[in-house]
Amino acid sequence: MRSDPLKVIIIGAGTGGLCLAQGLKSEGIPVEIFERERTPSDRQAGYRLSISPSGNRALKECLPESLFQMLVKSSARPSRGVSILDERLKPLLTLNLPKADPASVDCERPISRIALRHVLLQGLDEIVHFDRKFLAFEDAPDGRVIARFDDGTTATGDLLVGADGASSTVRTQLLPHAQRAQTGIMAVSGKLGLNDQVRELTPPPIFRGPTLMLSPKGCFLFANAVEYSSADALRPRPPVDASGYDLSSVDREEYVMWGFSARREKFALPEYRDACDLQALKTAVLTLMQEWDPGLQWIVQNTNTISTFSVKTSVPIPARKNPECDSTRGRSS
């Protein structure tokens, strides 16, 4: 019988993979993470995400208390409400969010992806391996699993976890029938840095929290402001990370983020988005917003950081059966 502890291999050093690694490490379970990006800051968009109370509880369970407090201090000001408006800012539905202590797990926690990854990487230097692109896995003769990488190296463990995102290579091999399909929807998103003029001209609901604008012509705009409390400005900046990347310039960045979505054909853009420059994207969006509130148009017009992507959805697949629980089959060996 084996006396050594089980070892877990995680493919992908994103939020899920790093959180799992922190939890396994805290329980004394050997774990290694392999990430295709060369450094922690490669291709890390500065947009924020929002951690729900259930996500907060999971992070608190997995992280040492000092890291959870670092997470709290790295977070932006929580949302106060959610607004659904029409394209002229007429309220359709307004929801007030309960006020919670920013340090509590019950508080919604906006945080930039860069800052979140910086927190989750703390203490994992020895087990996170960057610049290791996963190619495939195979069963080892002793029942374990071997992961193969594009540099010719391998890693062997007892459990392989695919935490490599929506285009997961692990999932493609394990469940080749689990496909993602195009919805026909295209999204154009932008980020506009906050200053006095932007604060004055941006519609107020956007500063309360997530704001959704619905147009009767099949177009949709999402907007939200990322702000930090005045006390945050007095806190020391985070140090340069192990890769030499200075997080201070983006960790406290305040901005309005927006995303405009419609069916691809409405934009009248080239099929391949790489052929679209910044001005072409703004013009396409503003053409569809001609009857929208002037403040919303102003935000798009003055944005200089814009990206676009095609919206996809997963195709439902049947649940996998456990042979040991299937009475019509024998027990697997």
Q: What percent of the chain has pLDDT over 70?
A: 85
**Residue found under tokens 């800051």:** 41
What's the pLDDT at 330?
32
What's the pLDDT at 85?
98
Fold type of domain 180-314: FAD/NAD(P)-binding domain (3.50.50)
What's the pLDDT at 273?
53
**Chain CA centroid to CA 248, Å:** 20
Whole-model pTM: value is 0.83
Residues of the chain with pLDDT under 50: 231-250, 274-275, 325-333
Backbone phi and psi for residue 299, each to the nearest 5 degrees, phi listed first: -60, -50
Q: How far is CA 172 from CA 9, 186, 314, in A?
A: 17, 24, 12
What's the pLDDT at 325?
46
Question: For domain 8-76+109-174, which architecture applies?
Answer: 3-Layer(bba) Sandwich (3.50)
The pLDDT tens digits for 227-253 are 998 644 434 444 444 444 444 444 578
Same fold, 8-76+109-174 and 180-314: yes
Domain-wise residue ranges, the chain: 8-76+109-174, 180-314
What's the pLDDT at 268?
86
**Cα–Cα distance between 210 and 257 in angstroms, integer?**
10
